[in-house]
A and B are shown apart, each in its own frame.
Chain A
Amino acid sequence: MRRRGRGATASAAVLLVLGLGLGTTGCDRGGNTDLGLALSTMNNPFFVGIKKGAQAEAKARGLKINITDAQNDPTQQINQMETFTSQNVKAAIINPVDSDAAVPAVGVANRADVPVVSIDRGVNGGRVGTTIASDNVEGGRLAARSLAAALGGRGRVVVLEGQPGTSAARERGKGFEEGVREFPGIEVVARQPADFDRAKGMDVMANLLQAHRGVTGVFAANDEMALGAAKALGSSAGGKVKVVGFDGTPDGIAAVRDGTLTATVAQQPELLGRQAVDRALRAARGERLPKTVKVPVVLVTRKNAAEFGG
C-alpha cells in the first residue's frame, strides 16, 4: 500500500508540473512587457474592475501590461514580481494580498530597481512610490451624511461592521463615526460585525432588531451586508428603516433604484486601475509622487443610480 501511495504522489507531482508548465506558457509570450500588475484575486468584481481599468489605460498608451492573479496567496505574489523583474518591466503595480506579507514581493522589485506602486492596499515596508486607494474614510462620512439626511437628522441607528481586522472595515467604520458626530440627533445603538457577508448581515440584523426597539437607520460597511439587512427588515427596508450600503455593486445599485437601499457609496475600481498605470509610469520616469493617492468615492442615490447601471 505504501508503494502504491508513492506512485500516486509521483503521478500527482508530474501532473502538477505539467499544469504549471501549461499555466505559465499561457501568458508571458512575445516579450517587451512594459508593466506588471500583480492582483491579489480576480474572484471579486471589484478587482476585475481594477484589471479592466489598468488594461484600458495601458492600451490607450500603447503599452503592454502583464496582469497576474495571486489567488490571495502572498507567496505567489513574490513569484509574480520575480517574473515581472525578469521581463524587465518599466514599473510594477502590486495589489497586496496582505500589507505585511507583500514586503518581500516589493523587495524583489526594489533589488532589481523596478519602481513599484501599490493599489487598494498599502505595503508596510520596502520602497513603494505611492499607494492608490479609494478614500474609504471619506466614503464612511458620505454614508453617515446621507443616512442622517434620509432620517431628517434624528434616529436610532445600527452599524453592521465588516470582517474584523481588515482596513476596509476599520476605515469605513471610522469615517461613519466621524460623519455621524455632526448629527447629535442620531444615536448609534449597536455596532456588530457581519463579516461583509449577506447571510450574516441578515442574521445579525434580525438579532439586533430583537435587542433594540425603534431602529430607524442602518449603515452596513458593504452592499452585501446591506442587502442582507434589508432582507431581515422586510417591507420596512427603505420605508420605516433607511439602509445605506457601501461598494456600489450591481445588486446594491439595483436595490437603490428600487428603493430598498437609500444609498450606497460606490468605489471606482476602473478609475483606480487607470490611476495606477498612470502613477506607475510617472514613477518609472523618476517623478516624485505623494505617499498616497486617494481616488474619490461617489454617493449613489435614487437620483443618480441610472448612471451607474445596475
Chain B
Amino acid sequence: MSLPGGTSRPRAASVEARLARLGFVDPIRARRMLDDPAMTALVGVADDRDATSIALVEAMGRTSDPDQAVLGLLRVSEAVAGGALRDDPEHGTAALVRAVREDDVARLRLTAVLGGSSALADYLVSHPRAWRAVATAQRRTGDELRDRLVSAVQPATRGARSAYDALRIAYRAELLAIAALDLTSPDPVADLPVTAEALAQLAEAALEAALAVAREEYGPGHEDCRLAVIGMGKTGGGELNYISDVDVIFVAEPAEGVGEDRALEVGTALATGLMKACSATTGEGSLWPVDAALRPEGKAGPLVRTVASHVAYYRRWAKTWEFQALLKAWVSAGDRAVGMAYKSALSPMVWEAAGREHFVEDVQAMRRRVEGLLPAGEAARQLKLGPGGLRDVEFAVQLLQLVHGRYDASLRSATTLEALGALAKGGYVGRDDAAELDEAYRFLRTLEHRIQLAKMRRTHLMPVSPIELRALGRSVGFVADPASEVQEARLRRSRNVRRLHERLFYRPLLSAAARLSTDDSRLSPEAARARLAALGFRDPAGAMRHLESLTLGVSRRAAIQRQLLPVMLGWFADEADPDAGLLAFRRVSDELGTIHWYLKMLRDEGSAAENLARVLGRSRYAADLLLRAPESVSFLGDPAGLAPRDVAALTAIMRNAAGRRDRADEAIAAVRGVRRHELLRVVFADLVGGMGIEAVGRSLSDIAEATIEVGLEIAIRSVEHATGEPVPTAITVIGMGSLGGRELGYASDADAIVVHQPHPGASEEVAQARALAVVQELIRLLAVPGAEPPVGFDTDLRPEGKNGPLVRSLESYAQYYARWAQTWEFQALTRARCVAGSRELGDALIDLVEPLRWRPGGLTPTQVREIRTMKARVEAERLPRGADPRTHVKLGRGGLTDVQWTVQLLQLQHAYAVPALRVTGTVEALTAATAAGLLTPEQDRVLRASWMLASELRNAGVLWRGRAVDSVPADVRDAGGMGRIIGREPGAPGALVEEYLRVARRARAVVDDVFYGAAGELGAK
C-alpha cells in the first residue's frame, strides 16, 4: 500500500471525506483498496487521478454497496491479472482496463454488478473471463438465448468440459448480462416485466439445452419420444425470479411408428435426465431444482403422460387449484407441436373450471390457505406470503381470470401484470386501482429481485441488518436515508395490496351496481353475477339488486354506502350466509339511512361496520331482532357499547322507561324495548366480542331478572289501579332452573315460583286473591307479543306443578315442603334464587328451603334411588319422538341434563357439609365439587367440556336459525353455520358432529360412574 509522504494526512482526510460523501461506508478501507497497486491501471495513483479515474470511483459510489464494489473490482482485476487470462486480447488485463476506462456503459455495468451482488462478484473472481459478459451485455430474444445455450452443450463446442458444466457456465454468462442490464436500468421498477421475462426465457433456454443433454445421454433411441416441456408457475407466466424452482410438466407423444409404452419409457428417462442436468451439483454448482409436482396426481403420478392422458385426468379428477395452475401453462422447451397440442386440448378446460361444482368452496379454501401460509415471526418481513404479499396479488388476479375469462378471451394471459392490465381494460377492476396495484406489484417484485441478487439465494424476506437495508434502498434509488426510505416505501405498497380484495373483487361490483362509473368499460351485469357467485353468494341476482338499491342515486347515503360496501362485501363473503347478511344490511339501511348518526357511525367508528356485517352474515336471530328496531345498532358507535349492563343498571333504565307510561301495556312495551336492545347487545358481544358462554348466560339472566322485576312493579300498579286500593301483600319471584343458575340461553324459558306474605292485619283471603291477580297480570304482560321474543315465564316447578296455585304464601310453602314435597322438588330447589320483588320475603323463603335442599346428613339411600330412577325415566320418555339420543344436546346422552343432574346430586348429598357447594350455577357447583374432592380433575374437565359445548351449540342454533335447535345439526349447511359461530374452522362440517359425539360420550361415562354409581350394566341402555 503506497501512501505518499508528508502531505498525505490532510489530503487523505479530504479524499476520505469525498469517498464518504460518495456513499462509501468505510472510506479508509476503500481508499486503501484504491491505492492498491493492482488497481493502478484502473484508477491511476493516489495523487494523480485523472477524470476517468474519478468517474470510475463515482460509478462505484452509485452502486448499491460502493465498498463491496471497490473490493470486487480489486479482486476481479487481480484475478484477471493473476491467471492465464492476463494477456488474452479480449479478456485480459488490457481489455479490462480499456473497458473500464474508455467504455462508459461497461464501467457502469461492471461496478453495478460488483456492488449489487456479492455472490456474482465471487463468481467473477472465480470465472474472470465472464467479466466481458457483463461489459457487453445486451438484451437477447428468447430464441437467441436458446441457440446460445443449446450450442454451448454440444460436444463440438464444449470441448473438454462436461455437458453439465458447459450448461452452467453458459447459463451464468447470460444471467450476468441480465443482472447487468437490470442493475443499470434507470427505472428498474418500470423495467421489471422485461427483466422477469428475460429470466423466464433464460430458464426455458436452459431447459432446452438440458433436454439436448438428456437426449445425448440416452443415446440412440431417444428419438422414439417426442417430449414437450410445459413451463408452469412463474416460468410459464414469463415472470421468473433470479432464484426460483422451475415448475414444469412433461408431455410425451410417440414418434411415428413407435408404441405409446415405448415413448413413455423413453420420455420418462429424458425427463429424469433433464431434471438432473439442471439440478445436479457439479464443480460449477447447479442451476435450480426442476419441480414437476404440479403434474396430474402430483408426486405420486407418472412423470410423463401423453396429451390424451392429461386430458382424461383433467376432465375427471383435477381440482380447482390444478386448473388455476394451468393458467400459467406455456410451451417452454422440447417438441413444440406436442406442446401446442397439449395447450390447445387443455386451455378450454381451464376456462370451464369456474362452472364446476365446488368451485366456490375450493376458491374459499384456497384463499384461506394463501392467507394462512405465513410462518410466524416472518410476517413483518415477508414479501411473498400472507395478506398483502405478492402471492396474494397473483392469486387474486388468477381468480378473477378464472371467473371472467370464461366469457372474455382477452383475459387469458399467463402473466400477472398483463392479466391485471386486461382486467382493467375490460372494466373488471377499476383503472386507478389496477394502476396502483400494478405499481405496487412491480415495486415489491423489484425488491425481491434485489434481495435475491445480493447473495443469489432464494429468499422472500426483507433483510434486517442496517447494512443490507441500506444497500437494498440504494439499489432501488433511495439516496438520502436509504435504509428507512426503502422500508417505508415497502410498507406503503404492502398496505395497498392488503386492501386488494376490496379493490379487485368488490369495488367493481359497486361501480356496476351504482352505474356511476364514468368508464364505458363497466363490469357487465353477467360478469358481476358470475363474480358474486364465485365469492360465495348463493343468489347473485338478488345480491346485485340489494347492491343497486343501496348505492344507486346521488344521495349522501348512496355515496357513503358506495364507499363502505366494497369492504363490507368482503366481510359478508367471509361469513356462513353472505346473502342473508347483505339483505339484512339493506333492510337496516333502508330504515336508518336518513338518520345522520347511522352512516357517520359506519364510516367513522373503526369496527362498527365490520361488526355489523359479520353479525348479520352469521346470525338470523340478530338480523330479526335488529330489523324490528334498527336504531339499536347505535351501541356500535360507542367504544364501550358491547359491554353488557349489570342488573341494577338495567332495572333502573327499565323502571325509568316504564315510569313515563300510565297504561300497563305501554309500560311493559317500553320495558321490553329496553330488553330487546340489551339482547341485541349481548348477541353482538357474543358473536364479535368473544364474550364466552358463561358471561352470555349471566347477561341473559340479568336481562330476564330486570324485566321480571320491573314487570312485577307494573303488574302491581295495574292491579292497584283496577281495584282502587294497594295490594295488601308483599310479592317475590324466586328464579329456578337456568334463571336461578344464571345460565340462561337465548331460547331458555325463565323458570320461577312466586311467594307472597300478607301485610300485618291484611285478610289472608284478599291477599291471596290480589297476589294471584298480580301474577296473572305479570304473566300476561310478559307474554304480550312484541318486537322481541316474549319472556317465557314458566311456573311449572311450583308445588303441585300445573295443578297447584300460581302463588302461595310463605306459610303455605312452609307447610307444603314440610308435609308433601317430593325428592325432585328438593332437587329443583338447588337452583332457587330470589330474582324480583321484596328481598326480605325472598330471604325468608330461601331461609325456609335452605335446610330442605342442603338437608343435614345429605340424601337418604331411598332418595338417591328416587332421583336416579326419575332420571332414567326422563331419559327414556322426555326425548322428543324421532330425536337421536346421541346428538340431542339437552336431553341426550352426555348432554346438558346429564351434567346438571350429576352436579345437583352431588350438591344434595354433600352441600350440608361443604358450604362451597351451596350455589345455584352448574359451573360454580362443578368447581366446588372438584375442590372438595367429590370429582377428580379429569371428571371435572370432561363434564365441563360437555356442558360448555352443549350450551354453546344450543345458543349457536338460536343465533344461526333464529329458533331453538336441540340437536347437533344433520344438515351440512347448518353444521357449517353453527360451527362458525362457536369458532370452529370453516369447511369441515362433519367434524362438529364427531366432536360433539366424542365429548358427550366421555361425559356420559362420568355420569354413569358418578350419577348412577357404576358403569352402566350391559343391556340396560
Whether both chains belong to one complex is answered with: no
**Interfacial residues, chain A to chain B (CB-CB below 8 A):** none
